[in-house]
Structure 1
Amino acid sequence: MRRSDEAAYRAHLLRLDQQTRRGRFGHGVSDDFLSDYAARTIASEATLHGYFEDGLLRGVAELHPLGSMDVATAEAAFSVEPGWQGRGIGSMLMERILSTACARGISRVIVTCQASNRTMRRLATGFAAELEIIGDEVMGQMTTPRPTAFTYAREAIEEGYDFATALMDATWPMRPKSS
């Protein structure tokens, strides 16, 4: 996703119901918080990948690099709108985030969720996350493989595909007006 997607990202976050907001942020959050969060995140060093359906952003994966640690580490976060959950969108976004992390030299990806968030826990364990329960939260850690030439080629192809798709969505269909 690019800076030009900020409005779509904000609209996506605002469509999340209270339960999904709690699952994503760990507690209930207001519309104002979500609007501010969208602006801050788009302007940050985070990498975002989105799932669009019929021109609307329905799911987002965020990869936030974490400060200077011994191992290059980033935190991943996910949001999928109610009605689109359970369709494999989270898995697709997780795969994309891990691929991006690998291509950027990030060797460890962390996800955090409430212990009651079974969906996120299942998603993380499906990608070989080591889960640790800390109070009422669960932290999962995933290690990415060392990047190869194929890793970089795949990332370039995916970025090119995303750009071409966005371009087509923005310009298609460009039909002449009938009189």
Structure 2
Amino acid sequence: MGLIRSTTILAVRHKGEVVMAGDGQVSLGQTVIKHNARKVRRLHHDRVITGFAGSTADAFTLFDRLEHKLEQFNGNLLRSAVELAKDWRTDKMLRRLEAMMIAVDSKYSLLLSGSGDVIESDDGILAIGSGGSYAQAAAAALVAHSELDAENIAREAMKIAAAICIYTNPNLVVEKMQAAPQV
């Protein structure tokens, strides 16, 4: 079996909306083995949107763990993410997981990694996966130089990433929600 590569996940917080988009491609070595994988999901009564890059089994473990933390901390995404990152870094089984995750709610956009990182975006844009840097750069340019809303920025940025990254396709799953008003 070859190296499994896949994915671009992009989150955009802009003009009162939060949008997450993920492509559908899964590749094994030089072969595309799936075109419509669902890498973006809603958790905790549809109040949190998550997306993953990496091993599918590991991502499902992380989805389950984050859902449990959200229940435990009454939907507080920031607290749940910090507690998950602590577990991820210190637990022998979780430490071996090969995945990254973005989680958003109406207030926060967070990137979580197995090294214990919980990173909040400065500009409302986060991206992970093999095409993540392309999608993030495109989204940043579109936020700065267009009048598009968050969903259309995410769609256009993902289209650009798919045109550049061979491990990203244009088959998107897009989820969105209203953002909390800025105080």
Tell me if TM exceeds 0.5: no
- TM-score by length of structure 1 reads 0.26
Q: Which structure has the highest strand share of the two? A: 2
- TM-score by length of structure 2 reads 0.26
Q: Which structure has the highest helix share of the two? A: 1
